[in-house]
Amino acid sequence: MSEITVLVVDDDFRVAGIHGDIVADRPGFTALPPARTVDEARRALGSQQPDLLLVDVYLPDGDGIDLLRGAGIDGFVLSAATDAATVRRAVRAGALGYLVKPFEPRVLADRLDRYARARNLWTSGEVLTQDDIDRAAAIVHGAGESASVSRGATAQVILGALGGDESSASEVAERAGVSRATAQRHLSALAARGQVEVTLRYGVTGRPEHRFRARRA
């Protein structure tokens, strides 16, 4: 299956960069250069033709929900707005989900992973059964699922490789002898369980790096 291209629309360049990095870290996803205005987003929609939109509500030259409504593609709303009227507008506009900012990186990573799984069902054939439709809806909305990770061998190896130090997913992967994607997935799920803490560290280039540390009991 081809890469899922994602357009982040947020007028805060730092927030847009963080969200774009989360997208880029997910296997099977490609983050396009972010847009900071409705006008930039519409031009990117026409030229880049993304598969998924991650859009803020309040933009300098318009409304992100209206942008999503007219985009004709899948989308999530990422906003600090928590009033019921705004959330209802997002749902009516077709948003697959609504994430309240600020949120931990694992929250968006989890939504992206679930979206990819649901998309596989939506694109599995020209005709979908009722079971296909129900399964996809349950996956994308997280019905009946938890963000926890299995307590199997791989999870225990990841925890053991993490030890008591703060480490990146790449460092943990090297110690555990697994791929970076596998380490990242298990670390994110362990964070969802509250067993691992996640922080962002900014380097000299300004690109944030996710750092993981086992949570002390």
**Phi and psi, residue 214, nearest 5°:** -65, 135
Query: Quick check: helix, strand or coil at residue 52?
Result: strand
- Checking phi first, is residue 165 left (phi over 0); if not, alpha (psi -120 to 50) or beta? beta
The answer to pTM > 0.75 is no
Percent of the chain scoring above 90 in pLDDT: 46
Q: Do 35 and 41 form a contact (C-beta atoms < 8 A)?
A: yes
CA atoms within 13 Å, Cβ hemisphere of 78: 26
Residue 214 pLDDT level (bands cut at 50, 70, 90): confident
Q: Which domains does the chain have, with CATH numbers?
A: 4-103 (3.40.50.2300), 153-214 (1.10.10.10)
What does the pLDDT look like over 116-162, one tens digit per residue? 988 888 887 678 888 878 888 888 876 444 433 334 566 777 888 88
